[in-house]
Structure 1
Amino acid sequence: MEGVQAVPDIKRNIKVSAVIDDYKELKRIVGLVPKGITCEFTRAYGRFLSLLYIEVDVDVLSALTQFWNSNIRCFEFSQFDAVPTLEEYTTMMDCPIMDKVGVYLYKEQHVEISKVIGPLNIPEDCLKKCLAKDDNNQVRGLKRNMLEKHLDMLVKMRNWAAFKKTLLLIIFGVVLFPRGKTEIDRAAMDAYFQFVENKACPIPAVLAETLRTVDVCRNKKKQGNLQCCLQLLYVWIITHCYVRRHMDVSAPIALVDFHKIPVKKMTVLEWKEEFAKLESEKFFWVCPWYKPKDIIIGCGSFHHVPLMGTRGCISYTPIVALRQLRQVQVKPLKEQLGGYNFAYTVGNALETNLVKRSWKHVHRKKIEGTGTPRPTVTPEYTEWREARDVQIYVPKERMPTTKDLADMTIRIEELTALVHQLQLENEAKDFKISNLEYESHKKDQKIQNQTEKINELEEDYRKCYKMSKRPRSDGGTSSATKFQEEIRDLNMLIKKNSDEKSRLESVCRSLRDENRRLETSSQEMKKELESKINQMEITVGLTRMAEIRRDTDLRAKQQQIDALEKEIQVYEENFEKLQNCH
């Protein structure tokens, strides 16, 4: 296959950890600052403050790391490839790469501490307390807690110039280039100084450290530790997966409007399964806040983009992420893939200088059209990707523990009791319905009897009416009036019984509906119970099979031990015979 080979042995279950910081004290201090000052900070530097309020789910990034392909430098999902791009990161941070000032470049040694702390207005008596030193008494960084105390003092003094620079330094050290929770190291200070003094964009360095730490974690044998700007990587993947219909504003701001995207709480295993099922059609290729004018596709003589981080260099390949940049995805050339990936050492000085010189000649491609993006791929790209034989992640089945079996047994007992209770309620409802039907039948009989009596009274009334027309000699009143009153009373009684019958029928209907609902619930409970029982039987069967295998292995090993002991005994006897002969 032309180009790049697929990773031969993809490890899909590397345990990845990360240091999560809630920045509680830092956010408290920022909360004391007038809004006008924080707005000035954002206008001057970018949306660095917004990173403090992004809550990262490490399980998402731990699962995502399993899909990294070191050869192609991208996340390799079952149907497509994706990678964070410079343009997406700079848009999120509102920190563009400008040609005249360039980007952060490692200059073989870090900036002097005095140049960093000079503009911070740290009192001389506190300066020594701020320095963090190694075992050789060399300054390796600044203590975070002391800088935060100084930041709090600057707020009280309303020294906003020093406040903004101190705040930015802390963010560089604990958010953009973290190396633990307690210190801002020399590498982070170096990137900070170039940004403040020369406006050198730190975003390529942020992306470089992100890709390098993901690559390191991906190739660890057991466990890796993500040491990078977790917030940007988290916002990037969640936005691409779930932003659809959740950022409906006309001009969304990536970090400010991110909270509108709902994110489910899942385990690492569940997130692995979620990423494994990602479909190209459902992946939101172009983020709603991404409005590019051009994209960086290369530097100097490189066909890819070599990124200089604070501790090492890695080549990133935007050619595999063209759909994210509103472009048609084409097949990458062989020379556009791979590239550098090294830490800064004396042995890599030549490569380091080549990368630095390449950033003097950045190759950009202008984006044509600003309408609705239609991410597509060429047939050549599809053929190239299919030929890579991408390995699809399949989660390993976990053997049930004793606690799992106990929990399942308790659940089965609860379901059995609930089914029994529903059966009792069903029987009680049936009995009540039978009684009501009997009462309704009695009412029907009574109504029928009263109707027959009315008919007889009406017949007598007609006879009496005829007789009332004849002259009476006794001067008595007609009996027709009495018949009319009796008929009226009977009609009222019939209406009353009819109403009662209607009420009973309504109650019967309600009870029948309730009975049907109980029957449905009972059937569902029975099905769930049967499913749990079957699952438990399978689980118990698997456990027993595993125990049988273990017992068989133990017996085989014991037989081997017995055979070896016999051989040892024979050797010892022969050795004794030889000794006796001598």
Structure 2
Amino acid sequence: MGRLDIRFVPTPKLELKKLWGQLKLDGQQYVLKRIGFMLPTLDINVQSGVMQALAHFWCPETTTFVLGGKFELTPTLEEYSIAIGKSIELDIVEPPIRVDPVVALAEFLSLTKKEIEKVLKGNCQACLISFLIECFENSSIRMRSRIFILAFFGFIIFPFRQNAIDPVIAWTVKQICGGVSFINTILAETFISLTRFKKEKYRTFRAPIELLQIWLFSHLSQFEDNMTVFEMGMTDNPILRFKQIQDQTKSLHYTQWVHLFKDPNSKIFLWQAVWFREVEARLCHGDQKPVPLMGIYGATSYQPLRVTRQFRVLQDVPPPLGPNEFQVQFEKGECYRAELRHHFEAWQKCSTQKLIWPADEPTGRMKSHFAMARYIQYHTILAKILPKIPVVTARHTRQTQIKISEEKAMKAQEKADVLAEENARLRRALKAHSSIDHVASKKRKTI
């Protein structure tokens, strides 16, 4: 049986870019005010090989990627907040528990329930891009902006199915259009999708894969200079930077990425993204307890104390792992009133903490690990929770294979040219030598 990789939903980016071009300036400004810096994700190509490889290194218990069996990295609320250009508010998106998808979409689009039922019934309870385009073309300027945001979040941020969105997303987008922060929701769905994949419950990734890819490459030293952002804004931000340099990203095969993550080189990986520098961060709630994340289809924990070096703080030994108190899968028809109350109360306790950076530049092993001596000496991850990584033989990408073949052919041609030239030289020398012998022979005969 072959390996099972995480799956990414193909998205209709060309159609969305056409809709964007049809918005008036006021409509575009309305959209940008609500989605932040994320519009360039429509031009970002997903490298499925590296992202499929990375997913295998996710550890549900630590909610981190564990590289080399020890080194932990994870997207943080603050990293995503800065990259997207939206602040982390205390108010977070309420999940669509016991929300009727038909009613939610009908109210969002100002249509009747019967009209929406007819559309969804013929498409396995999903809303097709063609229907949203039809609604867009027949709507007012203000409504067009809202429909674009619905399509953007339904396809790019919370992908559901090829060319179709989950109608319940309308409940989420309505809150986003109202100004509610969605950073927590994005990170939640990212973690939940990775955890479902690792626990072999569901393989489809339901979060913005482009953002996760940008986050990963921001932690690779190869792009340290190109990913430096001096003044964060619409014209200079990590998403736009990555769009501009994406053609320079490493061209490695899936198997090569697996081997790289298995044996990470400290010269390749960066603990801190070069564009990220905050003075405060949400690191825990209460006494070193995990931070709650509330998604659309579930909730989970987030443990930034395990990756404080990503905030430029010397990494200390993280607190012991406890039960995932926020882990819940939302099922249709269930209430989850107690779980939600606990979740929201815990989020309210996640006040920001001042980050204390080292007074002096770390040296030796502390510098390479950006960690305290006790972390380097004592930190381990239990073998029973270490991610199971597929056994693969390193291979080159097709593009690299073609390049290698072309280089081999070029070298072979160069060698053939050298041999041909040497052969011609020898022939000329032999001919010259034969001519000399012939003249000498004639002279002897004449004498």
TM-score of the superposed pair, with normalisation by structure 2:
0.77
Residues 501-550 of structure 1 show CA distances to partners (whole Å, capped at 9, x for unaligned) of: xxxxxxxxxxxxxxxxxxxxxxxxxxxxxxxxxxxxxxxxxxxxxxxxxx
Alignment of 1:217-228 (within 5 A): 217-220=197-200, 224-228=203-207
Counterparts of 2:300 and 2:427, CA distance in 1: 78
- Aligned to 1:296, which of 278, 282, 285? 282
In structure 2, the partner of 1:549 is: none
The counterpart of 1:432, out of the listed 423, 428, 431, is: 428
Q: Report what 1:333 is aligned to.
A: 319
| Contact residue 92 and residue 182 of structure 2 kept, 8 A | yes
Match in the other structure for 1:46: 36
In structure 2, distance between residues paired with 1:413 and 1:112 = 59
Q: CA deviation at 1:281?
A: 4.2
Aligned match of 2:73: 82
Give the 3 Å change call, closer, same or farther, for CA 72–384 of structure 1 in structure 2. farther
Q: Does 1:170 align with 2:151?
A: yes
Q: Does 1:322 align with 2:319?
A: no
CA contact 2:58–2:194 (8 Å) conserved in 1: yes
Q: Partners in 1 of 2:84 and 2:410 — Cα distance?
A: 53
Query: Is the CA contact (8 Å cut-off) linking 1:300 and 1:363 kept in structure 2?
Result: no
Closer, same or farther in 2 for the Cα pair 1:87/1:187, shift >3 Å?
farther
1:151-198 Cα shifts (integer Å, max 9, x gaps): 2344xxxx332121111111121111111123332442222122223x
- The SS at the match of 2:342 is helix
Distance in 2 between the 1:219 and 1:115 partners?
31
Question: Among residues 368, 385, 395, which one is paired with 2:379 in the alignment?
Answer: 385
* Deviations, residues 546-576 of structure 1 (Å, cap 9, x unaligned): xxxxxxxxxxxxxxxxxxxxxxxxxxxxxxx
Which residue of 355, 359, 362 maps to 1:367?
355
Work out the CA distance in 2 between the residues paired with 1:115 and 1:344.
17
Pairwise CA distance, 1:24 = 1.1
1:202 to 174, 182, 186: 182
Tell whether the 8 Å contact from 1:97 to 1:201 is kept in structure 2 after alignment. yes
Q: 291-300 or 226-235: which moved more?
A: 291-300
Provide the residue aligned with 1:104 in structure 2.
Answer: 93
Q: Matched residue pairs, number?
A: 407
1:381 counterpart letter in structure 2 = Y
- In the other structure, the counterpart of 1:146 is 131
Q: Does 1:247 align with 2:230?
A: no
Residue 233 of structure 1 aligns with which residue?
212
SS for the counterpart of 1:314 is strand
Distance change (3 Å), C-alpha of 1:299 and 1:187 = farther
Cα 1:319–1:439 shift into 2, 3 Å: farther
Alignment of 1:475-490 (within 5 A): none
Question: Any stretches of 5+ residues in structure 1 without a counterpart?
Answer: 1-10, 400-411, 441-582
- Paired residue for 1:183, among 150, 154, 164? 164
Partner SS for 2:80: helix
**Once the two structures are superposed, what CA deviation does each residue of 1:380-408 show, in whole Å capped at 9, x if it has no partner?**
22233346466896843499xxxxxxxxx
Alignment of 1:433-582 (within 5 A): 433=429
Q: Distance in 2 between matches of 1:372 and 1:257?
A: 31
Give the distance between the partners of 2:2 and 2:275, measured in 1 at CA. 32
Give the distance between the partners of 2:75 and 2:174, measured in 1 at CA: 25
Range with greater deviation from structure 2 (238-247 or 31-40): 31-40
Q: 1:254, CA displacement in angstroms?
A: 1.2
Q: CA deviation at 1:322?
A: 0.9
How far apart in 1 are the matches of 2:165 and 2:132? 9
Q: CA 1:50–1:372 in 2, change beyond 3 Å: closer, same or farther?
A: farther
Q: Report the AA paired with residue 361 of structure 1.
A: K
| Structure 1 contact 111–190 (Cα < 8 Å) conserved | no
2:59 to 63, 69, 80: 69
User: Percent identity of the aligned residues?
Assistant: 19
Q: Is the 8 A contact 2:229 2:275 kept in 1?
A: no
Contact 2:105 2:116 in 1 (8 A): no
**Contact 1:105/1:356 (<8 A) preserved:** no
Which residue matches 1:60? 50
Distance, in Å, in 1 between the alignment partners of 2:2 and 2:297 is 27
On the 8 A contact 2:56/2:387 being kept in 1, the answer is: no
Contact 1:319 1:332 in 2 (8 A): yes
Greater percentage in helix: 1
